[in-house]
Structure formats: structure tokens, C-alpha cells
Amino acid sequence: MNFGIIGAGIVGTAIAIRLRQAGHHLVGVHSRSRRSYERFCTYLHHGERRPLEEWLPEADLLFITTQDCMIRAAAEELTRRGLYKEGQTWIHCSGSVSSRVMQVDKDLPINYLSLHPLQAFAGIDQAVELIPGTHFGIEGDREDIGLAIVTQLGGIPHQLDPQQKPLYHAGAVVASNYLVTLVGLAVQLFEEAGITNQEALESLLPLMKGALQNLENVGLPQALTGPIARGDVDVIRGHLEHMPAKIDPVYRALGLYTLDIGQKKMELNGGAYAKEVWEEMNSLMVKGTNEL
């Protein structure tokens, strides 16, 4: 199929590379950034610069891979200028908004589709490498097209409820973006203990990889280890007694959620926290050591 790209960032460029490798034909690219456009053309060996209005009607698939906040504006401009063809499918790759964000005029004879790669892409080369095996969230008019595209890209498709995409995307943010935040907090605690930033990161990465491996091997809640999993109140109290004030509320909030996971693990293994242990751990997480 013929496809075009609006928005020549990391995702748009990587998907264009993989689509062409799968046998699809690139008819054009449009980008507000000259630097991004030139980088795209270098990767795709795309030397012919054609005006948007010339190539867009040739595209069966139009990927709008702009920033999330610009998807609607791009669709409005295309609609206003009459830049579409009957039966065309407009596709965005946002995990946070519905495919309907592109529907400016309900009478346009085109389809709207969203394909969201559930992956953290830091660069084009990395993105091209990671797309095969990446899970994609799909919703929109032509989910059959979405399933076919994801399969051709080597991805793993999942159908999404468009009304629940904000929660889906929030989960992705917690798992990816906030993971980096948690590492930052852990590094800060190591630094408070006299360990350098670099040494802290080098020490923590193997620990984190081990935790992720446990999640992959045994899943939730069995992957949970540590003082809450053991019901070790004294260790938790010691943490809180030395906790920097700025990190204390974050530690306790995470601890409350960890208690729920720990309880589920106990129940799954045929046990339970002793009543006094549960109450004291819960009280520490809710109130902290200074309020007991």
C-alpha cells in the first residue's frame, strides 16, 4: 500500500523504515522541522521533496506522527484544505487520545485509526530495532488494517477501548517514565548514604534487572521480595527514621500499594500477615514514624 508521513520524528521515521521493509511504498513526508525532514530523508533515502497537496491524495495510509497535542490541529488543517481521498485511512500513534481526535468532519469518506507502540523510543536506530516484538494498542474504524500493519511490523496487537485510553496510557507512563523517576529517587538515597551517582546507578541496574526478570518468570504478586513481602516491620521503621523529608511521602505511598501486593502474595501462598504486623506496617505507611 502507499503511505505518507506527517511528522518526521523518531516514531514516524522508524515506522516508515519498517513499513517500507514490509513492502509498502512511501509517497511523501511532511514536517515543520527542516532538521527532522532532512534526517528522515537520510534514513529513508528519500530525495524527492514533493508538496503535501501533491502526494497526499496518493496515500492509502496517512500516518500523523506529530506530538499528541498537534494531532487535532494537523487533522483540522488537512480537512480545511480538502487534502484527503475517499477510503483513505488516517493513523496516529498516540496512546493517550482516541482515533476520533482526527475526525473534524463526520461526512468525510475516510477512516480513523490509532496504533500505539507500547515502547520507550529514545532514538531512531533503537526504535527500528525494538518495533518487532513491541506490543501495539489498536482502536478505530479499520482495526483489520491495524492488525495487518502491526503483524507486518513484527509487533503484537491488542485492541483497546478508546474511552479508556487515558488509563491505559497512564499505566504505560507509570511503568516507563516513572520507573526512571524511581531510579532517580533510589540514586538520591544512595547519595545520601555516601555513594556517588555513577556508583549508585551501576549498583542499582543489576538489582532492577533481577526484579524485572522475576516479574517475567513468576509474575505478580510472586515477584515481590524485600521487607514488606517478609513483614519486617523493624526494617521499614529504620528506613523511615532516616528518610529525607522530600522522599518520605513517596516512600510511604509506594509502601501502601506494596502492602496490597504483599498481602496477595501471602494469600496465594496460603498464609497471611500476622494482625499486629499488618496493622503496624499500614500505620507506618499512613502516618510515618513521627506521627505514631
Residue by residue, DSSP assigns 129-180 as HHSTT-EEEEEES-HHHHHHHHHHHT-EEEE--GGGHHHHHHHHHHHHHHHH
Q: Is the pLDDT of residue 98 over 50?
A: yes
Residues whose CB falls within 8 Å of the CB of residue 240, separated by 6 or more in sequence, listed in order: 248, 251, 252, 284, 288, 289
Which residues are within 8 A (CB) of 124 and not within 5 positions of it... i.e. 6 or more apart?
A: 10, 13, 14, 17, 39, 43
Q: How many residues does the chain have?
A: 292
pLDDT at 47: 74
Q: What pLDDT, in 10s, does the model give residues 28-84? A: 999 999 999 999 999 999 877 889 999 999 999 999 999 999 999 999 999 999 999
**pLDDT at residue 289 in the model:** 54
Residues 145, 178, single domain; the answer is no
If asked whether residues 144 and 182 sit together in one domain, one would say no
Sign, Cα dihedral of 235, 241, 247, 251: positive
pTM for the full predicted model? 0.85
Residues 277 and 243 in one domain: yes
Q: What is the mean pLDDT of residues 88-114?
A: 96
Residue 152 and residue 11 share a domain: yes
Longest dimension (CA), the chain: 73
Claim to verify: residue 124 and residue 193 sit in the same structural domain: no
> SS3 for 97?
coil
Give residue 292's pLDDT.
Answer: 42
Q: Which of 101, 125, 160 is the last residue of a domain?
A: 160
Are residues 152 and 46 part of one domain? yes
Whether residue 111 sits in one domain with residue 10: yes
* Tally of domains within the chain: 2
Final residue before a domain boundary, out of 114, 135, 160 = 160
Residues 115 and 192 in one domain: no
Assign 290 a pLDDT band (cuts: 50, 70, 90).
Answer: low
Here the contacts of 243-250 (C-beta below 8 Å, separation 24 or greater) are 244/188, 244/189, 244/192, 247/185, 247/188, 247/189, 248/288, 250/185
* Averaged pLDDT, 166-186: 95
Whole domain around residue 88: which residue ranges? 2-160
291 pLDDT above the threshold of 80: no
CATH label of the domain that carries residue 130: 3.40.50.720
- Pair 147, 235 in one domain: no
Are residues 271 and 185 part of one domain?
Answer: yes
Question: What percentage of the chain exceeds 70 in pLDDT?
Answer: 98
Contact 183, 208 (CB under 8 A): yes
Strand 156-159 relative to strand 2-6, pairing? unpaired
Provide Rg for the chain, Cα atoms.
Answer: 24
- Please, what is the average pLDDT of the chain? 94
Across the range 223-242, mean pLDDT stands at 94
176: Cβ contacts below 8 Å, ≥ 6 apart: 120
How confident is the model over 176-204, as a mean pLDDT? 96
Report H helices in the chain.
10-21, 34-44, 52-55, 68-81, 124-130, 143-153, 165-192, 197-218, 227-230, 233-242, 248-268, 275-287
Same domain, 119 and 198: no
pLDDT for the residue numbered 203:
96
Could you tell me if 121 and 227 lie in one domain? no
- Average of pLDDT values for 91-95? 96
Out of 160, 187, 212, a domain closes at 160
Confidence at residue 144, expressed as pLDDT on a 0 to 100 scale? 93
Whether residue 227 is preceded by a cis peptide bond, meaning omega within 30 degrees of 0, is no
Q: What angle do CA 165, 28, 74 make, to 5 degrees?
A: 40
3-state SS, residue 64: strand
